[in-house]
């Protein structure tokens, strides 16, 4: 498989950066190819512009015929080359970093990941065989499960952002939590998830 990895963390010298490195090693050993889209390195803009908003939700009706910005087109091109889509990011206040939320707001545009009936669209839709969400966390997975936070994040990613209707055949989410005491176990899991992708 060819995998596009969306990485959302300001530093590669972090636990999340180490998870990315191990996952990529695993992918390589599993015979997969990959490309990394580092949202902080590329300074990906999180906020929608007024033009982008109007394309999706104009008061006069959505306008999917309007062009999408070049940086979003570049993301679409990377996704189109891929069979797999992976998100690696830290849990920040029970969500991902703002740039990652912005990636979904701006990249998952009308005509690409959702359509309105009886309308024609100028772009081909998203087609991904497998998606994986890898979220690092300071709290343990058990704590995030007991508090319902793991479930709420899972519902948002798997039942909405990466649901089958947007063009993702299968999606899973794994929380790599627990801090230093779980570090080696989590990195081994990240490697394995890459290898068995
Ligand atoms: C702004 C911020 C908010 C955070 N919020 C949470 C949180 O809500 N839940 C949690 O389990 N960990 C939280 N953490 C901890 C990180 O998820 C944790 O340290 C993670 O393993 C990332 O480590 P890294 O920055 O070394 O990659 C937060 C960290 C930061 C910087």
In this predicted model, what pLDDT tens digit does every residue of 97-116 receive, in sequence order?
A: 999 999 999 999 999 998 88
90 touches ligand 1 (CB under 6 Å): yes
Confidence bin at 156 (pLDDT 50/70/90): very high
Give me the pLDDT at residue 122, please: 80
Nearest one of 186, 196, 137 to 18, comparing CA atoms:
186
User: Residue 189 C-alpha to ligand 1 middle, in angstroms?
Assistant: 19
Give me the pLDDT at residue 7, please: 99
* pLDDT at residue 21 is higher than 90: yes
Residue nearest to atom 25 of ligand 1 (CA): 14
Residue nearest to atom 20 of ligand 1 (CA): 137
User: Residue 171 C-alpha to ligand 1 middle, in angstroms?
Assistant: 23
Dihedral (CA of 161, 143, 134, 91) sign: positive
Alpha carbon distance 31, 197 (integer Å): 10
Ligand 1 atom closest to 9 (CA): 27
Which pLDDT tens digit goes with each residue over 88-97?
999 999 999 9
Alpha carbon distance 32, 139 (integer Å): 31
User: Residue 114 C-alpha to ligand 1 middle, in angstroms?
Assistant: 31
Give me the pLDDT at residue 117, please: 77
Describe the crossing of helices 70-81 and 98-107 by its angle, rounded to 10 degrees. Answer: 90
User: Residue 88 C-alpha to ligand 1 middle, in angstroms?
Assistant: 13
Confidence bin at 59 (pLDDT 50/70/90): confident
What DSSP line would sit under 84-147, residue for residue?
Answer: EEEEEEE-BTTB--HHHHHHHHHHS-BTTTB--TT---SSPPP-EEEEEEEEE-SS-HHHHHHT
* pLDDT at residue 171 is higher than 80: yes
In the CATH scheme, what architecture does the domain 2-195 have? 3-Layer(aba) Sandwich (3.40)
30, burial (CB in 10 Å: exposed 0-12, middle 13-18, buried 19+): middle
Ligand 1 atom closest to 176 (CA): 21
Q: Are 30 and 49 in contact (CB under 8 A)?
A: no
* pLDDT at residue 58 is higher than 90: no
* pLDDT at residue 195 is higher than 90: yes
Domain boundaries, the chain: 2-195
Confidence bin at 119 (pLDDT 50/70/90): confident
Dihedral (CA of 95, 137, 39, 189) sign: negative
| The 168-176 sheet, strands edge to edge | 33-38, 2-7, 84-90, 128-136, 168-176
Ligand 1 atom closest to 137 (CA): 17
96 touches ligand 1 (CB under 6 Å): no
Distances (CA, A) of 108 to 87, 89, 113, 117, 160: 14, 18, 5, 17, 11
Q: Are 31 and 83 in contact (CB under 8 A)?
A: no
Query: What is the overall mean pLDDT for the chain?
Result: 95
Higher-confidence residue: 27 or 114? Answer: 27
User: Residue 67 C-alpha to ligand 1 middle, in angstroms?
Assistant: 36
| pTM over 0.95, yes/no | yes
Give me the pLDDT at residue 170, please: 97
4 touches ligand 1 (CB under 6 Å): no
Residue nearest to atom 7 of ligand 1 (CA): 93
């Amino acid at each position: 498989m060819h995998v596009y990895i969306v990485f959302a963390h300001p530093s590669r010298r972090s636990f999340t950066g180490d998870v990315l490195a191990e996952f990529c090693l695993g992918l390589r050993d599993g015979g997969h190819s990959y490309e990394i889209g580092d949202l902080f390195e590329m300074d990906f803009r999180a906020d929608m512009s007024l033009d982008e908003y109007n394309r999706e939700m104009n008061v006069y009706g959505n306008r999917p015929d309007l062009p999408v910005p070049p940086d979003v087109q570049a993301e679409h091109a990377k996704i189109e080359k891929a069979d797999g889509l992976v998100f690696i990011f830290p849990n920040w206040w029970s969500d991902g970093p703002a740039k990652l939320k912005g990636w979904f707001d701006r990249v998952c545009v009308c005509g690409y990941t959702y359509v309105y009936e009886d309308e024609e669209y100028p772009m081909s839709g998203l087609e991904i065989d497998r998606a994986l969400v890898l979220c690092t966390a300071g709290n343990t997975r058990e704590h995030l499960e007991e508090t319902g936070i793991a479930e709420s994040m899972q519902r948002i990613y798997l039942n909405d952002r990466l649901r089958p209707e947007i063009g993702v055949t299968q999606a899973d989410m794994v929380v790599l939590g627990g801090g230093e005491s779980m570090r080696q176990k989590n990195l081994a899991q990240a490697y394995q998830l890459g290898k068995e992708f």
